[in-house]
Amino acid sequence: MAFTTALTKHVSFSSRFLRDTGYIDGVWTAGDATRTFDVLNPATGEVLASLPDMGAAETRDAITAAHVAQPAWAARPAKERAAILRKWHELMVANADELAAILTAEMGKPFAEARGEILYAAAYVEWYAEEAKRIYGETIPAPSNDKRMMVIKQPVGVVGTITPWNFPAAMIARKVAPALAVGCTVVSKPAEQTPLSALALAVLAEQAGVPAGVFNVIVGEDGPAIGKELCGNDKVRKISFTGSTEVGRILMRQCADQIKKVSLELGGNAPFIVFDDADLDAAVEGALASKYRNAGQTCVCANRLYVQSGVYDAFAARLAAKVAAMPVGDGFEAGVMVGPLIDDKGLAKVESHVEDAVSKGAKVLTGGKRIKGAGTFFSPTVLTGVTSGMQVAREETFGPVAPLFRFDTVEDVIAQANDTEFGLAAYFFAGDLKKVWRVAEALEYGMVGINTGLISSEAAPFGGIKQSGLGREGSRHGADDYLEIKYLCIGNL
Ligand SMILES: NC(=O)C1=CN([C@@H]2O[C@H](COP(=O)(O)OP(=O)(O)OC[C@H]3O[C@@H](n4cnc5c(N)ncnc54)[C@H](OP(=O)(O)O)[C@@H]3O)[C@@H](O)[C@H]2O)C=CC1
Ligand SMILES: O=C(O)CCCC(=O)O
């Protein structure tokens, strides 16, 4: 059976949104896949579903379908594409509870957070339904009277998207919505841990009127094989990826042969700075929101918390008290704030970061251990006495661990915050306006939260600099990633 009772106790077998195959050219199909792979609930370790392990051949078929469908989709008036996206948005909002249950079951995040993610994903679809109608060109005053110069924008064509498990709905929505809005077609490959949410989005896209071939989903556990086909097939004009910097580098190399466009949203190592003049309660709340959201499995999560000497002890004590009180458990239990980590690999990484820090002199104020049992839980942790020689200073922990570094001067903390190859998000809490400007300008990051730990929004350009990636998602800038600029010059006038 494709779905087990471990899933259907949360999402009924008769759910209109559960699918047990991929989706190619408007058809629910396993292609030629002969093997299956299991989708697990990380809170219990139970198998939720078995899906066909699709690979390069099915990806090729989906690319062909997307290639055939693209000209007609691009030729539809923007208003029609917008109306279909708007309908998709409405269906996501109307069915948020059921989509959230699927998401919590396969990913583990608390149900309220999962529901928040569905609405966040839907907001991207709504945003690009609106933007679809505003893909403006421009006219340019020509340097001579016998010419007229202008610019039009056209869709890049077929797009391959590869997305991670930490936001199984939002990461797909914020790539697919702008792509479809401007007239591209898409072949999507969700993470092997969370394919059910992707398939549920495709069900709703189909109901909304997205035509066959315009949005295709390939499910499978051989990411490298699917990725190679997406990067190597010359019908695909662009790859949009969210995930680890390591895989982003592989994809960029694979795209080099055909000079294929890439958007990459990669790892972060976000500094979170608390200055002596900060509102300490707001800084603690900001740290809780930024660090422990999604059990710390977010590329924009605070990874290194730098606290100025004058408030270090007070901040550490207040943060630890709140963190110790956070309920941990199955995301379906009422009141749970921190769910499991995605899998054993994720749990082992968090554990090794904490062990490394402690072995080099850090102190555990609260947490610090995996929680024994069936699921992959790690207790929300605060570490003090953390220094730059520890793993937590250099690598993304991707777990509920707040390492607190002490600093004295603005210059010192900016140097430490920028001392990383990553440049996605940074945060700081301060009162003095002069300092706010100086620090905001000096931080080498694509996004900076000032006196807030939450910066994500469909209205904002999300993306990084340095090895955190290329391109932006969300806002009006997010559409540009799926558009080519064409310059037209009329002569002999
Ligand atoms: N920027 C971010 O938001 C994210 C960062 N990370 C970071 O990466 C670490 C590892 O997480 P992990 O899940 O392994 O992330 P990955 O980067 O390995 O996975 C993300 C996506 O890429 C796919 N993939 C993996 N290898 C290839 C490949 N060679 N070619 C094409 N696609 C590929 C995966 O497919 P499949 O699932 O089939 O392997 C998945 O869909 C985390 O601990 C975290 O630090 C992780 C997720 C998101
Ligand atoms: O972790 C990610 O890859 C996406 C960040 C989620 C968000 O805040 O939009």
Quick: pLDDT tens for 175-221: 999 999 999 999 999 999 999 999 999 999 999 999 999 999 999 99
d(CA 197, CA 100) in angstroms, rounded, equals: 9
Mean pLDDT of 271-297: 98
pLDDT at 1 over 80: no
**Is 267 near ligand 1, meaning CB less than 6 Å away?**
yes
In the prediction, which pLDDT does 16 show? 87
Mean pLDDT of 230-239: 98
Q: Percent of the chain scored above 70 by pLDDT?
A: 99
Taking the centre of ligand 2 as the mean of its atom positions, its distance from the CA of residue 138, in whole angstroms, is: 33
User: Nearest residue CA, atom 29 of ligand 1?
Assistant: 224
User: Nearest residue CA, atom 8 of ligand 2?
Assistant: 456
Residue 14: pLDDT band by 50, 70, 90 thresholds? low
In the prediction, which pLDDT does 12 show? 77
In the prediction, which pLDDT does 293 show? 96
Of the candidates 265, 285, 458, 473, the residue annotated as catalytic is 265
d(CA 283, CA 74) in angstroms, rounded, equals: 47
Taking the centre of ligand 1 as the mean of its atom positions, its distance from the CA of residue 247, in whole angstroms, is: 6
Taking the centre of ligand 1 as the mean of its atom positions, its distance from the CA of residue 98, in whole angstroms, is: 26
d(CA 417, CA 272) in angstroms, rounded, equals: 8
Task: Tell which residue, 215, 166, 245, 263, has the closest CA to residue 461.
Answer: 263
In the prediction, which pLDDT does 481 show? 97
Contact (Cβ atoms closer than 8 angstroms) between residue 426 and residue 269:
no
Contact (Cβ atoms closer than 8 angstroms) between residue 74 and residue 159:
no
d(CA 343, CA 389) in angstroms, rounded, equals: 27
Say which residues have a Cβ less than 8 Å from residue 229's Cβ, sequence separation at least 6. 56, 59, 60, 63
User: Nearest residue CA, atom 6 of ligand 2?
Assistant: 298
Segments in 257-404 forming alpha helices (H): 280-292, 309-324, 344-359, 391-394
Q: Which ligand is nearest to the CA of 341?
A: 1
User: Nearest residue CA, atom 13 of ligand 1?
Assistant: 164
In the prediction, which pLDDT does 337 show? 97
Taking the centre of ligand 2 as the mean of its atom positions, its distance from the CA of residue 167, in whole angstroms, is: 7
pLDDT at 79 over 80: yes
In the prediction, which pLDDT does 11 show? 85
Q: Over the stretch 133-161, which tens digit does the pLDDT of each residue have?
A: 999 999 999 999 999 999 999 999 999 99
**Is 254 near ligand 2, meaning CB less than 6 Å away?**
no
Contact (Cβ atoms closer than 8 angstroms) between residue 24 and residue 55:
no
* Count, residues in the chain: 493
**Is 229 near ligand 1, meaning CB less than 6 Å away?**
no
pLDDT at 131 over 60: yes
Q: Over the stretch 458-486, which tens digit does the pLDDT of each residue have?
A: 999 999 999 999 999 999 999 999 999 99
**Is 243 near ligand 1, meaning CB less than 6 Å away?**
yes
This model of the complex carries an ipTM of 0.97
Mean pLDDT of 108-130: 98
Taking the centre of ligand 1 as the mean of its atom positions, its distance from the CA of residue 168, in whole angstroms, is: 12
Residue 13: pLDDT band by 50, 70, 90 thresholds? low
d(CA 5, CA 376) in angstroms, rounded, equals: 20
Mean pLDDT of 127-135: 97
d(CA 202, CA 173) in angstroms, rounded, equals: 10
Clarify whether 192 is annotated catalytic: no
Among 113, 241, 297, 299, say which to mutate for ligand 2: greatest number of ligand atoms within 8 Å of CB: 299
CB atoms within 10 A of CB 79: 9
Among 221, 241, 247, 351, say which to mutate for ligand 1: greatest number of ligand atoms within 8 Å of CB: 247
Which tokens hold the place of 323? 């963190």
Taking the centre of ligand 1 as the mean of its atom positions, its distance from the CA of residue 267, in whole angstroms, is: 10
In the prediction, which pLDDT does 264 show? 98
